[in-house]
Amino acid sequence: MISIRNLSKTYGDAEGGHRALDDVTLDIGRGDIFGILGSSGAGKSTLVRCINLLETPTSGTISIDGVDVTGYAGRDLARLRGSVGMIFQNFSLFQQRTVLRNVTFPLELVGMPKPERDRRALELLDVVGLSGLSERYPSQLSGGQQQRVAIARALANRAKIMLCDEATSALDTKTTVSILELLRKINREMGVTIVIITHALTVAESVCNRIAVIDGGRIVEQGTTEELFANPQSQALRELIENSRQVHGRAFPAPDQEGC
């Protein structure tokens, strides 16, 4: 569904610049919950931001459902952004808008009439378990509730892909588990392909069916979650496992033992 071919991204000019992605080739299948693991600065956010063209690749291609989107601009780009939702660690909600108006925002952008967009937003708030909170402001919600609003907003334009950049990193363990459960439900019931960036091995292990490990801008290992954790090949993954063991006393603490 998402085919990334020979993707490179250099920030700054070619000579003095920093090569954040180096010849990345990766396939993410329809219906996957795909994990991107790697240490800080490895290039995870850059990779994911290239998928919806929040970053412009320096070279290489990104195709979605067989269509090369790399050069998209204008209306095509707007349509792409609608079909690829994104959520972040800090939720990125509009503080001056109510919950309902946060979710209707992308629908306003595409000119959907008010009654229809309100109806769609209320439906989505029901899906994410926030019925009854539509007139609150973000500051009146918990972190987990705010992330649920962000998820509803990301899905508003009937997104088929959802990108999650450390979406649970600011949440406590119990809330993390409930957000991961919601992502699983959205994947299962709405057929949304989900890409999850995380530095928490427990998050990757508990929800992802496939994982790629990135190090220094290169994919150093990829495979099913079971394969990777049973037999890690790359130095990068071994280090992540070792770090997790040092922090938690063992390699893969249960989700209730790690602040993800």
Ligand X SMILES: Nc1ncnc2c1ncn2[C@@H]1O[C@H](COP(=O)(O)OP(=O)(O)OP(=O)(O)O)[C@@H](O)[C@H]1O
Contact call for residues 151 and 127 (beta carbons, < 8 A): no
**Part of the chain binding ligand X (CB under 6 A), chosen from 41-49, 120-128, 137-145, 150-158:** 41-49
238 touches ligand X by CB under 6 A: no
Tell me, residue by residue from 115 to 154, as one string, x for binding to Mg ion by CB under 5 A and - for no binding: ----------------------------------------
- Residue 217: half-sphere exposure toward Cβ, Cα within 13 Å: 14
**Considering CB distances under 5 to 8 angstroms, the limit depending on partner class, which of ligand X, Mg ion, none binds residue 210?**
none
239 touches ligand X by CB under 6 A: no
179-212: burial string, b at 16+ Cβ within 10 Å, e else? bbebbeebbeeeebbbbbbbbbbbbbbbbbebbb
For ligand X, the closer CB: 62 or 121 = 62
45 touches Mg ion by CB under 5 A: yes
Among candidate residues 68, 52, 140, the one with its CA nearest the CA of residue 99? 140
Task: Tell me how far apart the alpha carbons of residues 173 and 97 are, in angstroms, rounded to a whole number.
Answer: 28
40 touches ligand X by CB under 6 A: yes
Q: Can you give the binding site for Mg ion, defined by CB under 5 A?
A: 45
Q: Can you give the binding site for ligand X, defined by CB under 6 A?
A: 11, 18, 20, 38, 40-46, 199
